[in-house]
Chains A and B, each alone.
Chain A
Amino acid sequence: MKDGGPKRILIGKVGLDGHDRGAKFIVRALRDAGYEVIYTGIRRTPEQIVRTAVDEDVDAIGLSLLSGAHNELFERVVELLKAERARDVVLFAGGTIPDQDIPHLEALGFRRIFTPGTPLSEILSALADELASAPATPDEAAT
């Protein structure tokens, strides 16, 4: 059930890098803040991320990546989500992502990119805002 219960968030390590200190911190901090959080573990493909997101019926996906492969891999995640008609999922990301790449990622549909040093309080309030303003799911929109 999506309605009523806590929002569900998938934290995904997409690509080959094993740097998950930040991702694990966010997982635990989001759980402490009352969200239901699914953590994929490291080295997931875009296909695995999207499959898990659909199976778990999540409200948001947060991708973490520190290898510099974000432009290619995040784009692939967005393509696959579109194919699954899961466009209403709130997308955000974190990692070693240079400022110059952020406009491209925002154009793809990422609501927020949290770069190193972002305070947790800012991440939590931004996510709460984004989840509150998320559009209705396609099913609900159709009725």
Chain B
Amino acid sequence: MSDPLDRELERWKRETLSDAVAKVPERPERRVTASGRPVDTVYLPRNLSNAAACAAYLEQIGFPGEYPFTRGVQPSMYRSRFWTMRQYAGFGSAEETNRRFRYLLDHGQTGLSVAFDLPTQIGYDSDHALAAGEVGKVGVAIDTLADMEALFDAIPLDRVSTSMTINAPAAVLWAMYLAVGAKQGVAADRLTGTIQNDMLKEYMARGTYIFPPAPSLRITTDIFAYGAEHAPRFNTISVSGYHIREAGSTAAQEVGFTLADGIAYVEAARRAGLDVDRFAPRVAFFFGAMTDLFEEVGKFRAARRLWARIMKERFGAKDPRSCTLRFHTQTCGATLTAQQVDNNVVRVTLQALAAVLGGTQSLHTNSRDEALALPTEASVQLALRTQQVIAHESGAALTADPLAGSYYVEKLTDEIEAEARELIARIDEMGGMVRALERRYPQSEIEKSAFAYQQEIERGRRVIVGVNQYVAKDETQPAILTVDAEAARRQVARLHKVRAERDPKAVTRTLDAIEQIAGSEQNLMPAILDAVRAYASVGEICDRLRGVFGEHEEGST
């Protein structure tokens, strides 16, 4: 007698798997366990008692690559393609960061991820008073297109995808990327990558805001509209739970608040007249991975299922790609300890494994020394090797969603989905995420969770190895990376040189146009592209926008 799911499995192979594998064939290496046992693409529950049990399975869990995507967004998951190994990097000048990028690509990294310094992220040029001490510190300093050209020198943008952690000035930095692509002869519709472009979590957890929420959302939807038309392969937003988790939220809060942000973006885009199925396939997500492997796997699965249901039930999405939650993962930096730094390699391995078992599309693994400073080259290489060992040696990439059917993981998945759903309902009652942020609802919920977590550590109820137990005496810190202090002065000199050599009339004309369009309802992207091509700086463009939109201010307590 055949198993009730056998017929479904045949249907899935015929309707879903075969097309996907025709597009991206499975990798050629043998898919066998360490002892030579063949491994299937997917494993299913056996001997379900009746048709009702079978239907319940399909409703909640189903098949990889099919709604509700609990088991992953790709039918064959990592059997066809590993996740993109994408280390977040940037420091000092564009030239130094370009060297780090090429080092990573030479060592087998498969995508780029740009870290910008804080002045760039907040729209100040490197010679601004508020940039003092910060230029090139947590990322690369980018003032004008000249810096962006140096950043991607000899890196073919048609062959590498680039993720950029940029939010308030996302339109400006993305315009620069499009302009560099054009100079390399790569049209916008062939460029791939992601811009973070997620302002709501900046007010909630990350802090690099410039403008108030309403104009910020307008810029976001301008980017969506421009991308849908001109750069359809570029992810125009990465809705980010990572920073919410890093600020101290629980797993369910990370999912609930992130998807509530996602809902706010979809609603804003619809208000701006965009059709859901036109932009939703370009919405990506970004989560953290903590060391609690099972809870994290449940979290990723819950997020995927809940987003699929929201897109279908709430927004009536018809394109299955609109319902797929594709996500990048970074291992959680707040779990790194300054004590016994090599222990961090073990933490990062567990966190990375959680991301892979949870079905991530790309992954950054933190380096062991990041509680001390930016990572050294050797530490970054070890972090990348950690991903490569998981990919090639652990067996986690051999079959889709290997932990499905674990009583524990399925229960965690259900619970996290239910709790996240409640948080979203609460935010809906408040009138949406922008209103909830004004009432400081998510902020105070995150603060409560962060305080409780830290108290558990302080009281010894939660053990952090090397910090509150198994403490070593007389530790010496390893050698760390220091950013060349001269880099900031060189960056300012370069900015002044660009300002002296560019056509001042073109700069004034394009900046005036930005100001005028900012006050209208037209899309800002074409005007911003004109300005960056004229070598107007990030600070100059943002200053014009500040003049029209004003600035967001958080009060003291």
Contacts and interface: CB of A to CB of B under 8 A. Distances in A.
Interface of A: 15-21, 24-25, 27-28, 38-43, 45, 52, 67-69, 71-73, 76, 96, 98-100, 115-117, 119-121
Given A17-B118, A24-B450, A116-B337, A40 B477 contact: no
Interface string B477-491: 100100100000000
Contacts of A99: 477
A39 B467 CA distance: 27
B207 A38 contact: no
Nearest to B129: A45
Contacts of B339: 117
Contacts of B121: 16
Contacts of A18: 202, 205-208
Contacts of B334: 21
Q: Which of A21, A39, A41, A120: most chain B Cβ within 10 A?
A: A21
- The 5 A-B pairs with the shortest beta carbon distances in the complex, nearest first, are A18-B207, A72-B133, A69-B133, A16-B118, A68-B137
A117 B480 CA distance: 18
A96 B557 CA distance: 24
Interface of B: 118-119, 121-122, 130-134, 137-138, 202, 205-208, 246-248, 334, 337-339, 371-374, 447, 450-451, 454, 458, 464, 467-468, 477, 480, 483, 554-557
Given A21-B247, A25-B454, A16 B556 contact: no
Given A15-B133, A39-B556, A117 B338 contact: yes
Contacts of A72: 132-133
A116 B338 contact: yes
A121 B454 CA distance: 12
A40 B555 CA distance: 8
Contacts of B451: 24-25, 28
A68 B454 CA distance: 23
A121 B450 CA distance: 18
Given A20-B207, A119-B468, 11 more contacts: A16-B208, A20-B247, A24-B451, A27-B557, A39-B556, A45-B130, A68-B138, A68-B374, A69-B133, A96-B372, A117-B371
A38 B334 CA distance: 25
Nearest to B333: A19
A117 B122 contact: no
A21 B137 CA distance: 20
A42 B554 contact: yes
A67 B118 contact: yes
5 contacts: A24-B450, A69-B134, A72-B133, A76-B132, A96-B371
A27 B557 CA distance: 10
A24 B557 CA distance: 10
A75 B336 CA distance: 28
B89 to A, nearest CB: 15
A73 B131 CA distance: 10
A96 B373 contact: yes
Q: Which of A71, A99, A117: most chain B Cβ within 10 A?
A: A117
Contact of B138 (A39, A67, A121): A67
Nearest to B136: A68
B337 A41 contact: no
Contacts of B373: 68, 96, 98
Contacts of A96: 371-373
A6 to B, nearest CB: 17
Q: Which of B133, B134, B247, B339: most chain A Cβ within 10 A?
A: B133
Contact of A16 (B119, B247, B337): B119
Contacts of A40: 556
